Amino acid sequence: MRQIRDEGIRFPDRYDKLPGVTKEFCESSIKYILKKIDENLEKFTYRFPAPASVNNVYPAIDNTDWTSSFWTGMLWLAYEVTGDEKYRRVAEIQLDSFKKRIDEKICIDTHDLGFLYSLSCVAAYKLTGNEEVKRTALMAADLLITRYFDKAGIIQAWGDLNDPGQRGRMIIDCCMNLPLLYWASEVTGDKKYYNIAYSHVSQAMKYIIREDASSYHTFYMDVETGKPKYGRTAQGYSDDSCWSRGQAWGIYGFSLSYIYSGDWELMELAKKVTNYFLNRLPEDYVCYWDLIFTDGQEERDSSAAAIAACGMLEIAKHLPLSDPYKRIYENAALMIVKSLAENYTTASCPQSNGILLHAVYSKPHRKGVDECNIWGDYYYFEALVRLIKDWKLYW
């Protein structure tokens, strides 16, 4: 059997000390986020922020991209931390557009139905018990499982299932789409969603993660024979480098599959993937856009840092006190959040309607390079909420 190596932590001193992140620090960072949300509330009631900003300003778009729900998810977080009905009202207006998207099959050729419906309808159902949005989210789960190839045991990421360029391609990001399926099994009692999610994550563990615990961004499977083909990047530096955000999706995503399956192997994997990530952070703990870069002139990806912080906080929750990584991951998450709060927010760029500067959407496609991106804003907010309360996951 293939063994995935664990690098451990190469510079334990870096994660030894408790960074000064107090509850007051987090609350004041959240206050800034709420101020920015308030400024954006009208612009993004019936429309949504584009995935990435242009000159640090998000244009408004319809509910057509994979990212619409991150803004809705931020509204739910804002509602949770303040109890202010104005956030709930706007989030609920947006739920209509998520229903329309599923009913009318608008831009649904994607595995990102998981992101889209977890942070909109599932979050709404968990917080308000709204039965209608539960049905909408279940429709999304039903659509998501149509992308599953039985023989290969994977969910195809992008595009038409017969498109030869996309057929049988799975990507590391999909780990974050699986919670929609775990949730669907929980609320319906039908195991089929769970089985598909667990099969996918098991294949991802086997093929997307390399022996050194780094990740391919994408991996092709032969859907006719079920055999593995090869790894390819889409948004990373090269096929054999490790795209930072992909690794961050893995940190968080494998730990979420652990929660739903109880499979400790997934948690062990999440730890190895995390260690690889932590060993490649620059001085200020905010990764470059690909982990092949550890210093120099390349752009940072603040969004990957925020995702990884949430993932590490989740992992730490499940580790026993006797596991030294519990403290290391908590400290590392706090250091990242502190660095983001002190040096990466738009407080230094008042014309921006975003929250975190210096993210990269896709450098190879020259998309959203050194801009805000909406999922970075969401995960930064989620990390802070995790630090001030016992937050129940939308995932």
Q: What residue ranges bind ligand GLY (CB under 6 A)?
A: 173, 235, 245, 361
Q: How far is the CB of 174 from ligand GLY (least distance, A)?
A: 9
Q: Which is nearer to ligand GLY, 99 or 245 (CB)?
A: 245
Start-to-end CA distance of the chain, whole Å, equals 31
Contact criterion met (CB below 8 Å) for 362 and 289: no
Question: For residues 248 and 337, which CB has a smaller minimum distance to ligand GLY in the complex?
Answer: 248
Minimum CB distance to ligand GLY smaller for 361 or for 395: 361
H helix or E strand, kind and range, residue 155: strand 154-155
SS3 20: coil
Min separation Cβ 122 and ligand GLY, Å: 18
Least distance between ligand GLY and beta carbon 246 (Å): 7
Place of tokens 């599953």: 148
Question: SS3 for 383?
Answer: helix
Residue 218 Cβ vs ligand GLY, minimum distance, rounded to whole Å: 11
Query: Where are the strands (E) in 194-311, listed by range?
Result: 218-221, 228-232
| Token pair belonging to 138 | 């279940």
The residue nearest ligand GLY at its CB is 173
Question: Could you please report the per-residue DSSP string of 101-129?
Answer: HHHTT-S--BTTHHHHHIIIIIHHHHHH-
Query: How far is residue 97's CA from residue 104's CA, in Å, rounded to a whole number?
Result: 10
Q: How far apart are CA 329 and CA 311, in angstroms?
A: 9
Minimal distance in Å, beta carbon 371 to ligand GLY? 12
**211 conformational bin, left if phi > 0, alpha if psi -120 to 50, beta if neither:** alpha
284 catalytic? Reply is no
Taking the least distance from each CB to ligand GLY, the nearer of 182 and 361 is 361
Rounded Cα gap, residues 187 and 56, in angstroms: 40
Q: Select which of 109, 142, 173, 212 is catalytic.
A: 173
**160 noted as active-site residue:** no
- Computed on alpha carbons and rounded to an integer, the radius of gyration of the chain in Å comes to 19
Catalytic residue among 96, 112, 240, 263: 112
Closer residue to ligand GLY, CB minimum distance, 157 or 334:
157
Catalytically annotated residues: 112, 173
